[in-house]
A and B are shown apart, each in its own frame.
Chain A
Amino acid sequence: MSASPATSREILIATIADLLDGVRTVAVGASSPIPAAGAMLLRARNERRGREPVRVIVLGSREHNFFTNGAFELFDATAQGRIDAFFLGGGQIDGEANINLVGTGDYPASSVRWPGSFGSAFMYYLVPRVILFREEHSPRVLVDKVDFVSAPGASERIYRCGGPHALLTGLALFGFDKQRKRFGLRSVHRGSSADEIRAATGFDYDAPAQVPFTPEPDAETLGLLRGRVTDELAECYPQFARAMLADRAA
């Protein structure tokens, strides 16, 4: 195997596979190629290592979606406790892990309007391991306080068994402390630095004195990602699979 170093996309995908470690069933929403790749990578790696099988549900895929009950099944299966991990993003994410998928400015006449909340105001409460994923890491995305709460990061005195597990961006990985409602910087990806993250983040967060680099995928992981996982992705994300190949060649 030609061991060219991992691309930035590959580091994100491998980080997602690590964040999902231990889950039995993971669902991925529509238009989310990197989370889908991370889930497929974990499935392939567990299979290779003889570990517990991982079920992957990719919405919008025919091949990687075994649901037969239409739009209902993801939400019903989630409410039944069968979905261990899911991904959410947001036009804005704030320091208390509140997410905004609706828009900026005065609701309802939002000056910038995004599509809408999708299933977030349900999934965020009920999926034990929600990974917040947003490639853009900037003060306009990572804000002190969101303009509209599609779903809150934490809740008191209501039934809630799910919430944020981590926040992954194109530059860094954060953990979330539910009691203190506060992010903590865990690592920065190759090419970035603790100072750059501080400047690019609109909310305050905890950070260790020495911020480590996000681990890079080992040869086995990279081999699976560049082989089987790229092939699997091509079924539901053909453009993305081609872009991964182009990345690698560059």
Chain B
Amino acid sequence: MGQIVSIEALAAQIRDGMTVAVPSDTSGVAMAATAAIIANRPRNLHLVCIPISGLQADMLIGEGLVGTVETSAITLGEAGGAPRFADGIRSGAFAIKDATCPAILAGLVAGQKGVPFMPIRGIIGSDILATRDDWKVIDNPYAPDDPIVVVPAIRPDVALFHAPEADRFGNVRIGRQTELAAMAYAARTTLVTVERIVETSLLADENAAAGVLPALYVGAIAEAKNGAWPLSLAGEYNTDTAEVARYAKMARSAEGFAAYMHGFARKFEAVA
């Protein structure tokens, strides 16, 4: 529980066919771990984006490691569209399960609570519903003439994210990004990389304990300084916009993507 391991040992826990929940680009994405995962080449991953993704999903798709993407969007933000995602859509390289943000969050909450589904407003009349045979419309059992969508519980094999700090006991500070906690509650295990590991318990200070994910949910932690780079980590550093723009440009072609990823891998080898 909350074991502190090397980033390679952490990455080795992502195996073929696993369902992996990942957060949006500004919530703490484990990018250094993504480089380590890519080195291991697990196949046919099922990515669940909470509730959207960007650079990380685009890289894993471009590397051919993804069988299914469940998401409300894949975007590089200011840097534009996600090129390997769009290319994979055109060629049918993976199965896409389009969603809308609060429906993914509702599925996660169902997973967290151990119930089979969660109702959610809106969605009826959207083509998303037509493409999602796992989403149903039921009659509100408490009021007449009120059809409502239900989405199934999301129970990922693994939740994977990057956070500012963990303590020696396996507790992780996530701050206001409470969807990271929901990911961890719903997932069978959670893998976390952190900027630093501290000696004193993060639960010791009553004023700060609310923003801490307890070790109960955490499978493994690895230290990775600047581990979200080139993405941001709230309270620690901003997005390296020039680097994301460089990726966006290079990844327009398969060759450019391969060249970028070669450099990306080497960058993290140098750090490790």
Contact = CB atoms under 8 A, between A and B. Distances in A.
A195 to B, nearest CB: 33
A70 B179 contact: yes
Nearest to A110: B89
Interface stretch (B8-16, B122-130, B163-171, B216-224): B122-130
Nearest to B49: A116
A30 B71 contact: no
Contacts of B72: 116-119
A3 interface: no
Interface of B: 24, 26-27, 50-52, 71-75, 77-78, 81-82, 85-86, 89-92, 96, 98-103, 105, 120-129, 131, 145-148, 176-182, 234
Given A71-B24, A102-B98, A115 B126 contact: no
B101 A71 contact: yes
Contacts of A79: 102, 121
Contacts of B101: 71, 75, 118-119, 122
B203 to A, nearest CB: 19
Given A107-B127, A149-B126, A150-B126, A121 B82 contact: no
27 contacts: A31-B77, A70-B179, A70-B182, A71-B178, A71-B179, A102-B127, A107-B127, A108-B89, A108-B96, A109-B89, A110-B90, A113-B85, A116-B72, A116-B73, A117-B98, A118-B52, A118-B73, A119-B100, A121-B100, A121-B128, A121-B129, A122-B102, A122-B123, A124-B122, A150-B100, A151-B100, A158-B125
Contacts of A107: 127, 131
Contact of A122 (B73, B77, B81, B100): B100
B131 A108 contact: yes
A115 B75 CA distance: 5
B122 A149 contact: no
Nearest to A114: B81
A179 interface: no
Interface stretch (A19-27, A61-69, A196-204, A206-214): A61-69
Summarize B's interface: helix, strand, loop or mixed: mixed
Nearest to B101: A119
B56 to A, nearest CB: 14
B90 A111 contact: yes
Given A70-B176, A70-B178, A113-B85, A119 B78 contact: no
Interface residues of A, number: 46
A110 B81 CA distance: 14
Contacts of A116: 52, 71-75, 98-99
Nearest 6 CB-CB pairings of A with B: A116-B73, A70-B178, A121-B100, A75-B102, A115-B75, A125-B122
Contacts of B121: 79, 122, 125-126, 159
A1 B74 CA distance: 44
Contacts of B179: 70-72
Interface of A: 30-31, 60, 62, 67-72, 75, 79, 101-103, 107-126, 148-152, 155, 157-160, 239
B51 A71 contact: yes
Contact of A150 (B71, B120, B127, B234): B127
Contacts of B146: 158-159
Given A75-B102, A109-B92, A155-B124, 7 more contacts: A31-B78, A67-B176, A101-B73, A113-B85, A116-B75, A122-B103, A157-B147
Contacts of A126: 121-122
A110 B131 CA distance: 13
Interface centre among B50, B78, B234 (most CB of A within 10 A): B78
A60 B100 contact: no
A159 B148 contact: yes
A214 B52 CA distance: 36
Contact of A71 (B50, B74, B89, B125): B50
A101 B234 CA distance: 28
Contacts of B181: 70
Contacts of B234: 62
Contacts of A114: 81
Nearest to A162: B122
A243 B80 CA distance: 18
Interface centre among A60, A68, A116, A124 (most CB of B within 10 A): A116
Contact of B27 (A70, A115, A124): A70
Contacts of A67: 176
Contacts of A115: 52, 73-75, 81-82
Interface centre among A102, A115, A118, A120 (most CB of B within 10 A): A115
A223 B123 CA distance: 42
Contact of A119 (B81, B102, B145): B102
A117 B77 contact: no
Contacts of A150: 100, 126-128
